[in-house]
């Protein structure tokens, strides 16, 4: 493994992608009622903010605008590809996570040149604007298939992009930009003391309590608690990330953890592959659910099968990187983005 990489970031990527597997598998169990259980929904709500924050943490301010623009277009292209091929909807309409990554990555180029005062001001502004706009949240996320072109509304596109989509810019830009600020000014390290940990833990448990008592909107085929990402969810996500960072010194270089780090370094590619797998095998999952079994056992077995399948893909990736052909094509930036 590359010694210059932050292994803890790769480890957290592995944690985030594994939890995303679970979050995207759980809606398939609607018939069993598991998708409405608060604890399972809460676990499913961990990975998205962590994944986006890690994107900001991994951003290099030394790269040129051309390089940043190219990566941004790749992320947007992947989001459009998944909309068309996996979901069968018109791209750039409901805005999944790769869209906010693509736009956020481009914004990071300019954001990285600001002083801390202006960065903090921007982060606070994103939160305040998001909470203001959420008053007009539509309690649905409009999508348009290619057979429904007459239903295309540019107003809905703007609403989804700004505050009403799956991952609107407000507030999800917060986590990407905050990740870079934490890296640039070592914020996560500066606040690592017993008092800070205690405060973060208290806020975490208080926010979980308020989330459990809230009447949260749940879209079709989604289980997360951030539709929309209200202030209590933002407190939960930020305090969770803060508390999580205190466990970094506990991570030793055991063989299992090293494997997780390697697995996490391919999280972008595995994200696409696991959604494709769930789409391809959705009918098999529906059939499996009909068996007379404990639903929690069914969910656990389905999750294990999905993880094993992704581990197989991971081994294929490692094999592919070992052959001479990869050495000839790894000069292309898009290859390094997903396989480095």
**What integer pLDDT is reported at residue 66 of this predicted model?**
94
Question: According to the model, what pLDDT value does residue 2 have?
Answer: 44
Buried b (16+ CB within 10 A) or exposed e, 191-208: beeeeeeeebeebbeebb
State the pLDDT at residue 271. Answer: 94
What b-and-e string marks burial along 258-268, b requiring 16 or more CB atoms within 10 Å of the CB? eebbbbbbbbb
With 0-12 CB in 10 A as exposed, 13-18 as middle and 19+ as buried, what is 96?
A: buried
What is the pLDDT, as a whole number, of residue 1? Answer: 39
Of how many residues is the chain composed? 340
For residue 98, what are its two tokens? 């790769």
pLDDT in tens, 97-108: 999 999 999 999
Q: How many CB atoms lie within 10 A of CB 148?
A: 11
What is the domain partition of the chain in residue ranges? 7-339
Report phi then psi at 248, rounded to 5. -60, -45
Residue 255: the pLDDT is 66
Name residues of the chain where pLDDT drops below 70: 1-5, 252-256
Give the pLDDT of residue 3.
45
Relative orientation angle of helices 7-25 and 255-264, to the nearest 10 degrees: 70
**Predicted pLDDT of residue 32:** 94
Question: How high is the pLDDT of residue 4?
Answer: 59
The rounded distance, in Å, linking the Cα atoms of 170 and 173 is 6
Look at residue 36 in the predicted model and tell me its pLDDT: 93
Cβ atoms of 185 and 177 closer than 8 Å? no
């Amino acid at each position: 493994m590359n010694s210059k990489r932050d292994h803890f970031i790769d480890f957290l990527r592995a944690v985030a992608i594994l939890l995303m597997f679970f979050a995207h598998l759980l809606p398939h169990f609607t018939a069993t009622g598991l998708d409405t259980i608060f604890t399972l929904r809460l676990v499913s709500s961990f990975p998205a903010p962590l994944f986006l924050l890690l994107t900001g943490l991994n951003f290099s301010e030394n790269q040129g605008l051309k390089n940043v623009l190219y990566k941004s277009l790749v992320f947007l292209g992947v989001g459009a590809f998944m909309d068309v091929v996996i979901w069968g909807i018109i791209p750039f309409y409901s805005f999944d996570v790769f869209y906010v990554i693509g736009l956020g990555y481009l914004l990071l180029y300019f954001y990285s040149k600001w002083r801390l005062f202006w960065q903090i001001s921007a982060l606070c502004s994103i939160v305040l604007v998001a909470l203001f706009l959420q008053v007009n949240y539509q309690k649905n996320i409009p999508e348009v298939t290619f057979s429904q072109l007459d239903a295309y509304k540019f107003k809905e596109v703007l609403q989804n992009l700004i505050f009403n989509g799956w991952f609107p810019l407000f507030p999800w830009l917060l986590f990407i930009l905050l990740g870079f600020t934490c890296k640039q000014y070592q914020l996560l390290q500066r606040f690592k003391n017993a008092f800070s940990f205690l405060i973060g833990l208290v806020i975490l448990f208080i926010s979980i309590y308020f989330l459990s008592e809230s009447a949260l909107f749940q879209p079709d085929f989604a289980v997360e608690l951030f539709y929309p990402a209200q202030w209590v969810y933002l407190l939960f996500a930020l305090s969770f990330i803060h508390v999580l960072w205190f466990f970094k010194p506990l991570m030793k270089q055991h063989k299992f953890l090293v494997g997780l780090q390697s697995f996490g370094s391919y999280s972008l590619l595995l994200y696409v592959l696991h959604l494709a797998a769930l789409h391809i095998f959705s009918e098999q999952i529906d059939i499996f659910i009909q068996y007379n079994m404990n639903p929690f056992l069914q969910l656990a077995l389905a999750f294990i099968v999905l993880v094993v399948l992704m581990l197989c893909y991971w081994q294929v990736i490692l094999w592919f990187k070992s052959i001479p052909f990869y050495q000839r094509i790894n000069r292309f930036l898009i290859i390094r983005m997903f396989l480095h």
